[in-house]
Each structure stands twice: as structure tokens, then as C-alpha cells.
């Protein structure tokens, strides 16, 4: 659930400093806005300060429109639009819509452009995304961090940008789509682990969130997901660790802490067991220009 200030518009714009380690993907702006005036209008050909940026804007309430050439798309709740700047498009609040409330993020960098090209090829312009999808929870998490903590350096910006890019790739590959027949309590547990992996989660706390006893939850989770809850959580944490190793200079201890491990030695053992290489070796082999989305099967 999004918490927000009483302001209708709460957005953040970041001025990018040059840093070779982070220039492949950075957040340039993020925000949650509610527009009620038709003065809200953006033309993708007339934004000289936003060149080579990639926009993802998701409707929460009301609707807006995007026009590309002769085509006009209504962006309703549960839908996002994706565009690159510059390009021939404009988006706005139409006269027939009383409001358009949305959450958005804009990224810059070669990796962001590659991702948007992939998405546009797959979805065109409008991307349907369920409000409870991990991708939207991820966007909300980044927004909440910007609102409460502040994105104060390019390394934090780049880490979040890569996390969102990876979230988009997962969504595009259908990895976020719930498998048919998975019960709501198991989906709740998955969502809980996905958004709280950095916390010291226990099997008991995950089962409690799902509203089940520890033993019943474990058996039910394994029945539908073909893995245990702890193995599933470990996979999420190691995927995040790989991203941090690839795009930041954080120490192994810092990365261990940020992925839910108090002990760096234990984190290193788990990482090597799952990936086959030590965290240090992975970092040396995965220089950022060659960074790719790695999925642990």
C-alpha cells in the first residue's frame, strides 16, 4: 500500500554527476502525482533537458492518454505506458478524464535504453500490469525510499535503476506471473519475500504472514512452487547480491547485510554453493558493461 504526503504531486528529479561505474543505468526522476488539469501535457519531441531518457508511467486512478502519430491510447488503472525521449509521442490529461493519478520512473543509460527497446518490441506502448504484481511493488519500494530516505548518490541511483530494469525483464519473460492455481496465501508469501528479502526473515515469520502454521505452510509452498520457502528466499537474495556485486563497489559485508545475511562468511558460502564461484570471483568476472540478467534456476 502506497503511503504518501497530502500533496497531489510528490516527485523527485536528480541531477546526474559523471561516474563511469554508474552511467549505464541511472534514475533521473521518480514520483507519484495526481493531475486534474488539462494543462498537464508532455511532448516527446520538445524536451531538450530529457534527451535519451526512458519513461515508465503506471496509472493508479482515472486515466490519461498517449498519442503517437494518428493513434491514441487510453492508459487506465492497471496499465503503464513506456516511451523513450526523444520520440514522436505526447501524453496528457484529456478533457473527458477528471483525474489521472500515477506513479512513474524515468531512467537514463545504455542498459535502460536496451531494456526499453526490448519492451517496446514486445508490448508496443501499453503494458498491462496487475496492481499486485512484484514489478509495481518494486516501483513503490523505490519511490518510498526516495521519499523517506532520499537517493543521494549515483551508486544508489544506479543500484535501484538496475533493480527496476531486472524487474522489467522478469515481467517481460512472464516470471512474475502467478502460475495457474497457486493459492492466495502462497502468493502473499511470495510477495512478502520479494519485497522484504533484506530483512532477517524466518520461516515462522513468512508462514505467519501467509496465515498458516509453519509446517502446513512449508508443505503447501513446496507442493505449488516445487521448492522450499527458504530456498525460494535464498534465490531472491542471491539474485540481488549478483546485481550489487556487478554495479557497486560495496564490500561483501555490506552486500551480505543488504540481502538479509548478518554474517558475511555465511553469505559467501551460500553464494558459492548456488553460483559455483565466490562472490569476489563473480565481481571480477562481471564487469558492469557486460552485466546481464542472470536467472538462477
CATH of the domain at 93: 2.60.120.280
Phi, psi of 73 (to 5 degrees): -115, 130
Q: Last residue of a domain, which of 149, 176, 193?
A: 149
pLDDT band at 3 (very low <50, low <70, confident <90, very high): very low
- Give a yes or no: residue 176 inside a domain: no
**2 lies in some domain:** no
- Both 286 and 193 in one domain: the answer is yes
Task: Name the domain count of the chain.
Answer: 2
Tell me how crowded residue 190 is: count the other CB atoms within 10 A of its CB: 23
Summarised one tens digit per residue, pLDDT across range 155-195 is 999 999 999 999 999 899 887 665 667 898 998 999 899 88
Q: Closest by alpha carbon to 167, among 127, 209, 222, 207?
A: 127
pLDDT, position 149: 84
Helix and strand totals (H; E) in the chain: 10, 10
Closest alpha carbon to 63 in 55, 73, 54: 73
Evaluate whether residue 31 is within a structural domain: yes
204/142 same-domain check: no
Confidence of residue 9 (pLDDT cuts 50, 70, 90): low
Q: What is the pTM of this model?
A: 0.63
Residue 27 gets the label, from left (phi > 0), alpha (psi -120 to 50) or beta, of beta
Residues 114 and 29 in one domain: yes
Beta-sheet strand order (sheet of 64-68) = 41-43, 90-92, 64-68, 71-75
Query: What gap in Å lies between CA 32 and CA 124, rounded to an integer?
Result: 24
**What whole-number distance in Å separates Cα of residue 249 and Cα of residue 258?**
13
Same domain assignment for residues 190 and 260? yes
Which CATH number do you get for residue 284? 1.10.10.60
Q: Indicate the SS3 state at residue 58.
A: strand
The pLDDT of residue 291 is 32
Can you tell me the distance from the alpha carbon of 87 to that of 85, in angstroms, rounded to the nearest whole number? 5
Please tell me whether residues 108 and 64 are part of one structural domain: yes
Bigger pLDDT: 158 vs 145: 158
Instruction: Please give the grid coordinates belonging to residue 191.
Output: 510477495
Question: Cβ distance 239 to 294 under 8 Å?
Answer: yes
What domain range includes position 113? 9-149
pLDDT at residue 283, rounded to an integer: 84
Same-domain check for residues 126 and 191: no
Q: Is residue 126, in this structure, part of any structural domain at all? A: yes
| One domain, residues 110 and 14 | yes
Minimum mean pLDDT range among 40-44, 77-81, 227-231, 293-297: 293-297
Residue 45, pLDDT > 60, answer: yes
| pLDDT tens digits for range 80-96 | 999 999 999 999 999 99
Tally of CB atoms within 10 A around 149: 9
Amino acid at each position: 500500500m502506497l503511503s504518501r504526503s497530502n500533496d497531489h504531486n510528490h516527485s523527485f528529479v536528480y541531477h546526474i554527476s559523471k561516474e563511469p561505474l554508474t552511467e549505464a543505468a541511472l534514475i533521473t526522476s521518480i514520483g507519484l502525482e495526481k493531475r486534474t488539469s488539462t494543462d498537464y501535457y508532455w511532448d516527446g519531441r520538445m524536451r531538450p533537458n530529457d534527451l535519451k531518457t526512458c519513461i515508465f508511467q503506471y496509472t493508479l486512478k482515472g486515466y490519461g492518454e498517449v498519442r503517437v502519430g494518428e493513434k491514441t491510447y487510453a492508459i487506465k488503472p492497471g496499465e503503464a505506458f513506456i516511451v523513450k525521449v526523444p520520440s514522436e509521442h505526447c501524453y496528457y490529461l484529456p478533457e473527458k478524464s477528471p483525474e489521472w493519478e500515477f506513479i512513474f520512473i524515468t531512467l537514463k543509460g545504455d542498459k535502460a535504453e536496451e531494456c526499453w527497446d526490448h519492451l517496446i518490441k514486445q508490448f508496443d506502448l501499453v503494458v498491462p500490469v496487475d496492481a499486485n504484481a512484484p514489478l509495481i511493488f518494486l516501483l513503490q519500494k523505490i519511490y518510498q525510499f526516495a521519499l523517506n530516505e532520499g537517493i543521494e548518490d549515483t551508486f544508489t541511483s544506479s543500484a535501484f535503476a538496475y533493480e527496476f530494469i531486472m524487474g522489467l525483464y522478469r515481467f517481460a519473460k512472464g516470471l512474475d506471473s502467478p502460475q495457474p492455481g497457486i493459492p492466495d496465501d502462497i502468493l502473499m508469501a511470495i510477495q512478502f519475500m520479494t519485497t522484504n528479502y533484506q530483512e532477517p526473515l524466518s520461516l515462522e515469520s513468512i508462514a505467519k504472514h501467509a496465515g498458516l502454521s509453519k509446517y502446513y505452510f512449508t508443505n503447501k509452498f513446496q507442493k505449488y512452487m516445487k521448492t522450499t520457502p527458504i530456498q525460494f528466499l535464498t534465490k531472491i537474495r542471491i539474485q540481488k547480491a549478483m546485481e550489487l556485486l556487478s554495479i557497486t563497489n560495496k564490500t561483501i559485508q555490506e552486500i551480505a547485510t543488504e540481502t538479509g545475511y548478518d554474517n558475511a562468511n555465511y553469505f559467501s558460502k551460500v553464494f558459492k554453493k548456488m553460483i559455483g564461484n565466490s562472490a569476489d570471483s563473480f565481481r571480477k568476472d562481471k564487469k558492469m558493461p557486460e552485466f546481464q540478467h542472470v536467472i538462477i534456476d
